Structure 1
Amino acid sequence: MWFKNARLFRFTKPFDIDPEELEQKLEAAAFKPCGPQEAFRQGWVSPLGRKGQQHVHSAGGYHLIALRREERVLPATVVREAVDEQVEQIETEQVRKVARKEKQELKDQLTQELLPRAFTKSRRTFAYLAPKDGLLIVDASSDKQAEELASELRRAIGSLPVRPPAVEQAPAFTFSGWLNESIDLPGAFSLGTECELKDTSEEGGVVRCKGLDLRGDEIRNHLEAGMQVTKLALGWEDALTFVLDEDLALKRLKFGDTIQEKLDDIDTDDDHARFDAAFNLMTLELARLIPTLLEAMGGEDRSAIVDAA
């Protein structure tokens, strides 16, 4: 159970949900397959897949959840061909041109007729609530996917006071400072070999670099020309590697050999126990990393956060 991404949401108010209450609310919004005329449907499923019944997997004060989204796959080319055939038939039989509005109505009608015969595809998005850390962490490859889960969770439980974390100085300023050495890179972190730089002018050119010495002349020349670093590959304590972007999203998250060895040392053939152990290891490492990372980024701006009394 290793996340490949970590998109962070900070609770703006104290939020300590009872696992049993969370289970009841997610069960009430459980996933059901798409109906014949539905383009998509989403709902909550067990994070353990077919091996689990509960919609919430809790361990160590962390609550793992999973949102399943199913959608019908109806290629635009299929709809377009069906519309073209109908338009050609009408124009031939009625000897008239089909107007744009009528074409749109035909498209809507044919889409509804074709939907029940379309294949479906689905995906699961995992997240966990960390009330004691004040965070919701989503394993999503895009902001849209993460926001989708947060919105669905808010709908299910009635309230979800979260926002992306904010830091005291612009991430691009910090990233660029680490590479031009005007800002010290904290000792727990190491530079990878990948970054993305953006031109701050109106043209907004982008340079993506891989497999390079990030403090070499090539990168330094781009920085001296006024470009800023917006994505940066980092390592942390030989335990994790990731690419951090200016939205503070951790992408291509990889847990190191030392973490995997801890899991391998657990002597059990029970799948549930190994899942539990992996989840514990992952949450503990991220609980150590995230505050250290926010501090390295200049410190978190907590002006909009209400702390517990």
Structure 2
Amino acid sequence: MWFRNARVFRFTKPFDITAEALEEKLLADAFKPCGPQETYRQGWVPPLGKRGEQLVHSAGGYHLIALRKEEKIIPGAVVKELVEERAEAIEAEQGRKVRKKEKDEIKEQVMLEMLPQAFSKNRRSFAYLAPQDGVLVVDAGSAKQAEDLASTLRKSLGSLPVRPPAVEQAPAFTFTGWLNETIDLPAAITLGNECELKDPSEDGGVVRCKGLDLHCDEIRNHLAAGMQVTKLAVTWDDNVSFMLDEELGIRRLKFGETLQDQLDDVEADDAIARFDAAFTLMTLELSRLIPGLLEALGGEDRSAIIDEA
């Protein structure tokens, strides 16, 4: 159980929930497959898949959950072809022109007829709640996908006081400072060989660099021209590599050999035990990475966060 991405949400006020209470809340919105005339369904499923029945997998106070989305796939080209065929048949039989409104009605009918035989596209999204760390972490490649899961969780719980974390200075400013060496690079961070530079002007361009020394003259020239670094490949503490963007999104997570070796040392033959061990190792590592990264980016702005008395 290794996340490939990490979109972090910060709890804005003290929040705690037991695995049992979370299970009960999610159960009301458990996943049910699409009905014959439905195009979309989503709901909570066991993170362990077929190997588990619980909707919450907890270890060390971290609660792992999974949201499943099912979408019926109906090829647009097939629908269009059938609509045209039926419209042409009506025109030939009745000697009149089929207008757009009627074609839309025909399209709806065609869709309804095709739905029961349509293929389903399924996707699972994972997240874990860490009340003791004050964060919700979503394995999502985009901010929208992460927000969709957080919104669905909020509906299931009735309340979910979270927001993306904020830092004291713009991440792009910090990234740029690291590359042009006007800001000291934290000891825990090693630069990778990939970045994205953007011209901040309204019609500014974007330059994507890969496989380069990020302190090379080519990149320095772009920075001297006023471009800013908006994405940056880094390694944290020689153990976790990822792509970090200006929205604090962590993508393409790769956990290093140290964690893999620790997992290999776990004496567990069954899949569930190894899943649990991997989840524990991952959450412990991210519990170090997230606050450390926020500090490296200039410190977290906690002005909108209510701490426990």
Normalising TM by the smaller chain, what interval? over 0.9
CA root-mean-square deviation: 1.1
- Matches of 2:156 and 2:292 in 1, distance apart? 32
How many Å apart are 1:35 and its aligned residue? 0.6
How many Å apart are 1:3 and its aligned residue? 0.2
Gaps of 5+ in 1: none
Q: TM-score, normalised by structure 1?
A: 0.97
After TM superposition, the structure 1 = structure 2 runs for residues 40-119 of structure 1, keeping only pairs within 5 Å, are 40-119=40-119
After TM superposition, the structure 1 = structure 2 runs for residues 19-30 of structure 1, keeping only pairs within 5 Å, are 19-30=19-30
How many Å apart are 1:189 and its aligned residue? 0.3
Q: Say if 2:150 is the partner of 1:122.
A: no
Q: Say if 2:158 is the partner of 1:158.
A: yes
Secondary structure at the residue paired with 2:268? coil
Q: Greater shift after overlay, 256-265 or 85-94?
A: 85-94
Q: Equivalent residue for 1:244?
A: 244
* Percent identity over paired residues: 71
- 1:21 maps to a residue whose letter is A
After TM superposition, the structure 1 = structure 2 runs for residues 112-261 of structure 1, keeping only pairs within 5 Å, are 112-261=112-261
Q: Greater shift after overlay, 99-108 or 188-197?
A: 99-108
Secondary structure at the residue paired with 1:241? strand
- Matches of 1:270 and 1:57 in 2, distance apart? 16
How many Å apart are 1:22 and its aligned residue? 0.5
How many Å apart are 1:276 and its aligned residue? 1.2
- Matches of 2:15 and 2:175 in 1, distance apart? 32
- Matches of 1:147 and 1:39 in 2, distance apart? 22
Q: TM-score, normalised by structure 2?
A: 0.97
Q: Equivalent residue for 1:17?
A: 17
After superposing on structure 2, the runs of 4+ consecutive aligned residues of structure 1 that deviate more than 4 Å are none
- Matches of 2:246 and 2:86 in 1, distance apart? 49
- Matches of 2:196 and 2:95 in 1, distance apart? 57
How many Å apart are 1:156 and its aligned residue? 0.9
Q: Equivalent residue for 2:268?
A: 268
How many Å apart are 1:94 and its aligned residue? 2.4
- Matches of 1:56 and 1:69 in 2, distance apart? 17
Q: Deviations over 1:36-56 (max 9, x none)?
A: 111110111111111111110
How many Å apart are 1:226 and its aligned residue? 1.2
- Matches of 2:185 and 2:166 in 1, distance apart? 19
Equivalenced residues, count? 309
How many Å apart are 1:217 and its aligned residue? 0.6
How many Å apart are 1:96 and its aligned residue? 2.5
- Matches of 1:167 and 1:76 in 2, distance apart? 44
